Chain A
Amino acid sequence: MMDSKPVMINYTHRQAGHCESGATSNLFNFYGVKMSEPMAFGIGTGIYFSYLPFIKLMFAPMMSFRNLPNTVFRRSTKYLGVDSTVIRKFSNVKDSMDALDRNLEKGIPTGVQVGVFNLTFFPPEYRQHYNMHNMVVFGKEGNLYHVSDTVMEHPQTLTYEDLVRVRWAKGAFAPKGKMYWINSMPGELDIRKAVKLGVDKSVYEMTKVPFWLIGIKGMRVMAKDIRKWPKKHGNQKAAFYLGQILRMAEDYGTGGAGFRYIYGAFLKESGEMFNNSQLLEASDIMGRTANKWREFTYLGARNCKNRSSQPAEDYNTLGDMMMEIAGMEEQVFKTIEKLKI
């Protein structure tokens, strides 16, 4: 079983801000379609917001700035009409690895969903139980697999045992060996239609989902909660909870400001491509919103620095700022609602 020939697919690794849209854009590029990371992210409706205070992730309320895992790849291939395959889960370890080996022998670079905690080459400060990371396997030599993880600057290698461990990581959102790949590219891609579909879906998800914790509504709920934290939990815990927002927005591979920069870059690129004033206007607001997010980080980080004593910034101010950000983002999606393209 293990005596297969070494395989090395001629796959170009490019660093990206976000793991999944980076993997998707690299896969598109492998099949000869010039697709930047923001385009893949925007068409695949990566932008999202949800605030779930009743679920604790690493001892603090959970919030998410991106869509569920695999959405970007699935939707971008669906909207562009690309023939792709996603295997959601395997029943056992051997099947999942054999399927990967078969793909590599056929010369297909294959994306896999993995857990971060046991990923050996990953920056040690990011070690946490996060099972929604994506990377692309593109080569194999004996026991060693070559993988392209877009968070890292260079391609990396993993042994068979390590790859099994991360592909079968346990816990919430367990990947269960999920893998995906592109079968073939159609001759002509209808990007105009795909942008329209992607933007419409994002507008729905950010402003119209009838649930109060998702999208702009969720941001408003979070803003109200920020004001309550110091009274409810004390200064130390409030600083830690605030830190969770900042970590999620800035640290864990988002390209900055919780994917807002990437989405703005998508609006700008597609606006220039089709010369559409609606998209260009929205991209400007999105860029300013992202800068506001960064400002929020700078202010919030001062509270995290001296955490036990009196907070350096008032939590009411931070809450107001979050409200303002929510208002600005609502404006973005109001602008691109009913997009004429």
Chain B
Amino acid sequence: MENSEENTDPVYKNKNYGQYRELFYSYDENGNFQKSVGFHGTTTRVPLEQAWDLFNERIEEARQKVLAGKASPIVYYMEKILADPMGLSMMAGVSLWKLKLHCRPAFFKRLSDKTLAKYAEAFNITIDQLKNIE
């Protein structure tokens, strides 16, 4: 089941990325559409790498904020699953204005286990992990 060959194209900083071969179509000068299976080229991968750089930056920024006590762990985990407040409120089933309050440490401390469980399920982690970020 594993891929037989490895992608040696150094587009990615993370070696786990870009190891899947996909099917592409192309159009040649003779007017024929061709199918080929292969790795993505460097050029088409640059925008994806750019997006991941931004996401990782945002995650790190949020982590620093939480460690400094300026935001609640919900902010960090929200960035970690690449969600925005609107998306998270849909996923966890918490209304948007409540969620924005829960992003502050003072409100986060007073949350009941029931609400915490909602967030933990959306993040796919345990409540203990939600309370203490790494």
Q: Given the known A-B contacts A123-B20, A124-B16, A129-B82, are A170 and B33 also in contact in the complex, defined by CB atoms under 8 Å? A: no
Interface membership of A321, Cβ < 8 A: no
Binding stretch for chain B, among A73-81, A132-140, A245-253, A323-331: A245-253
B25-A307 in contact (CB<8A): no
A230 CA / B88 CA spacing, docked (Å): 30
| Chain A residues whose C-beta falls within 8 Å of the C-beta of B1 in the assembled complex | 154, 156
Instruction: Please give, as numbers and ranges, the residues of chain B lying within 8 Å of A151 by CB-CB distance.
Output: 20, 22
- Contact: A243 with B31, CB < 8 Å? no
Residues of A close to B87: CB separation below 8 A = 129, 171-172
Question: Quick one: closest B residue to A245, CB to CB?
Answer: B47
Closest to B11 in A: A125
Interface of A is mostly: helix
Q: Known: A153-B3, A170-B122. Is A264-B33 also a contact (CB below 8 A)?
A: yes
A171-190: which have CB < 8 Å to B?
Answer: 171-172, 174
* Interface residue from A123, A165, A170, A304 paired with B47 (Cβ < 8 Å): A304
Q: Which residues from A are CB-within-8-Å of B134? A: none
Given contact pairs A17-B22, A170-B93, a sample of 5 additional A-B residue pairs in the complex whose CB atoms are under 8 Å apart: A123-B17, A153-B3, A251-B45, A287-B33, A304-B46
Contact of B111 with A by CB under 8 A: no
Chain-A contact segment, one of B50-58, B64-72, B101-109, B125-133: B50-58
Q: Total A-B pairs in contact (CB under 8 Å)?
A: 124
CB-defined contacts of B96 to chain A, threshold 8 Å: none
Interface residue count on the B side (C-beta < 8 Å): 41
Please report A residues at the B interface, Cβ cutoff 8 Å: 15-17, 38, 56, 58-59, 117-118, 123-125, 127-129, 151-154, 156, 165, 170-172, 174, 239-240, 242-244, 246-247, 250-251, 253, 255-257, 261-262, 264-265, 268, 283-284, 287-288, 290-291, 297-298, 300-301, 304-305, 307
Whether the Cβ atoms of B90 and A255 lie closer than 8 Å is no
